[in-house]
């Protein structure tokens, strides 16, 4: 079934409509991306068909089924199969054989991640592990309100403005030299986050987005 909507940009196929796959597919549609959702479970396909651009019932471990879906023409294909390691590996391998340009695969363990990378997945995500790491940085009195890791050891965090930096222009604050972090954006009161410049002045109660090494961001957040 197709939604009556015009889409621009890349097309994405999401194979597997469990919690992760369905959430990802629905969010992509909300962002204006044309999405094909595929699952072997007819009930799941019917459940999400109205939310997606296209939905199909198919066995993704069948090469002919993948060909009929025209997946080689999609810019991105996500293997979101989480309940069967064999199906995930076989599906990914078949997508490689079809010459899909950008394959994303969901893994439940580091071992599965390594296997998927070795057979040709271009990007592998471990959503449960990554969420666990993120939450670990938000609990236990670390003072971080949000946390994103981009590469090993380099992160961005959201925190309340520490007293030490209130009322001073960023260009004169020495935050980078003193704390090893860069203030990327500032939110005043109920406003929106705005890009932080050298003339920006941090006020009491402001929220900051700061970037730097993990330990530096956590230490800076601990000042608040």
Query: What are the pLDDT digits (tens) for 77-93?
Result: 999 997 788 999 999 99
Which residues on adjacent β-strands are paired with residue 76? Answer: 12
Kindly list the domain boundaries of the chain, sorted by start residue.
11-128, 142-222
Are the beta carbons of 36 and 56 closer than 8 angstroms? yes
Predicted confidence band of residue 31 (pLDDT cuts 50, 70, 90) = confident
Give the pLDDT confidence of 37-74 residue by residue, as tens digits: 999 999 999 999 999 999 999 999 999 999 999 999 99
Predicted confidence band of residue 147 (pLDDT cuts 50, 70, 90) = confident
Q: Does position 103 have pLDDT exceeding 70, yes or no?
A: yes
Q: Does position 138 have pLDDT exceeding 80, yes or no?
A: no
Predicted confidence band of residue 2 (pLDDT cuts 50, 70, 90) = very low
CA 23 to chain centre: 11
Task: Please measure the distance between the N-terminal and C-terminal CA atoms of the chain and give it in whole angstroms.
Answer: 51
Identify the residue whose tokens are 């972090």. 181
| 142-222: CATH architecture | 2-Layer Sandwich (3.30)
> Global pTM?
0.67
Please report the pLDDT score of residue 132 as a whole number.
Answer: 63
Q: Do domains 11-128 and 142-222 have the same CATH topology?
A: no
Are the beta carbons of 126 and 113 closer than 8 angstroms? yes
How many Cβ atoms are within 10 Å of 115's Cβ, its own excluded? 18
Which residues on adjacent β-strands are paired with residue 156? Answer: 148, 211
Please report the pLDDT score of residue 99 as a whole number.
Answer: 94
Helix (H) or strand (E) holding 30, with range, is helix 19-30
**CATH superfamily for domain 11-128:** NAD(P)-binding Rossmann-like Domain (3.40.50.720)
The SS3 of residue 130 is helix
């Amino acid at each position: 079934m197709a939604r009556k909507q015009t889409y621009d940009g890349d097309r994405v196929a999401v194979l597997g409509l469990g919690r992760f796959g369905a959430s990802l597919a629905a969010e992509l549609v909300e962002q204006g991306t044309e999405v094909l959702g595929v699952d072997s479970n007819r009930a799941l396909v019917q459940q999400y068909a109205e939310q997606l651009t296209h939905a199909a019932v198919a066995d993704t471990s069948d090469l002919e089924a993948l060909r009929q879906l025209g997946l080689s023409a999609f810019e991105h294909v996500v293997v979101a199969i989480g309940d069967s390691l064999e199906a995930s590996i076989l599906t990914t391998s078949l997508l490689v054989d079809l010459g899909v340009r950008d394959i994303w695969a969901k893994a439940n363990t580091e071992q599965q991640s390594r296997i998927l990378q070795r057979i040709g997945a271009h990007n592998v995500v471990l959503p449960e592990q990554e969420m666990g790491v993120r939450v670990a940085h938000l609990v236990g009195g670390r003072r971080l309100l949000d946390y994103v890791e981009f590469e090993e050891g380099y992160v961005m965090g959201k925190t309340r403005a520490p007293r030490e930096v209130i009322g001073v222009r960023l260009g004169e604050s020495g935050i980078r030299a003193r704390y090893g972090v860069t203030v990327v954006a500032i939110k005043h009161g109920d406003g929106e986050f705005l890009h932080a410049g050298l003339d920006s002045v941090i006020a009491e109660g402001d929220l900051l987005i700061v970037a730097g090494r993990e330990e530096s961001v956590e230490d800076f957040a601990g000042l608040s």
